[in-house]
Amino acid sequence: MGRKSVDPRTLAVTAVMAAVVFVLTSLVHVPTPARGYIHLGDTGVFFAAFAFGPWIGAVAGGVGTLLADVVGGFPLWAPFSLLIHGLQGWVVGWMSRRWSGVPGLILSAVVGGAIVVIGYLVAGLFLAGAGAALGELPMNVLQVVGGAVVAIPLFMAVRQAYPPMMRFGIRK
């Protein structure tokens, strides 16, 4: 049984996208009632998943937001961010590869956004209580809608300007 090695370009793209998600999550974050924050990181998660597929989307989303929570003073949220944004990235990447065009991008963003909203509702119930978790719902919806509204046209523009981008990523 041979051991498969990771393509260095795939590793580099994954690291860069995780860093982009980290920066977008850390750069501007607005505090919310449940002691969390809304941020621009979903733009990076959506873009990474659209451009490079489910595995890079998952690692970039999960690791980028986890690091932002740890560095930004929200370590209790970090494991939830890893799971929620990792799942968001994987599902969005998988769905956007199955359904092409703008409708596929929108559908995958809606499902990925629902994962984030529901995931943070559940996490908020554990970490902040029902009142604060329910108070976060509109902010989380705003965050994922804003991320999708920026990421979809950005992805389409970059794909048109640099079609070889679609060769990167793990295809399985």
Q: What's the pLDDT score for residue 164? A: 85
In a domain, 49, yes or no: yes
- In tens, the pLDDT along 151-165 reads 999 999 999 999 888
- For the chain, which residues score pLDDT lower than 70? 1-3, 34, 169-172
Say how many residues make up the chain: 172
- Domain ranges, residue 69: 8-163
In a domain, 99, yes or no: yes
Q: What's the pLDDT score for residue 4? A: 72
Q: What's the pLDDT score for residue 5? A: 74
Q: What's the pLDDT score for residue 112? A: 98
Q: What's the pLDDT score for residue 115? A: 98
Q: Which residues pair with 29 in a beta bridge?
A: 39
In a domain, 140, yes or no: yes
In a domain, 1, yes or no: no
Rg of the chain (C-alpha set)? 16
- CA 155, chain centre distance (Å): 14
In a domain, 32, yes or no: yes
Q: What's the pLDDT score for residue 29? A: 83
In a domain, 61, yes or no: yes
Q: Are 40 and 28 in contact (CB under 8 A)?
A: yes
Q: What's the pLDDT score for residue 28? A: 86
Q: Are 54 and 93 in contact (CB under 8 A)?
A: yes
Residues 6+ apart with CB under 8 A from 16: none
CATH assignment of the domain containing 105: 1.10.1760.20
DSSP string, 107-153: HHHHHHHHHHHHHHHHHHHHHT-HHHHHHHHHHHHHHHHHHHHHHHH
In a domain, 50, yes or no: yes
Q: Into how many domains does the chain fold?
A: 1
Q: What's the pLDDT score for residue 30? A: 87
In a domain, 170, yes or no: no
Q: What's the pLDDT score for residue 2? A: 60
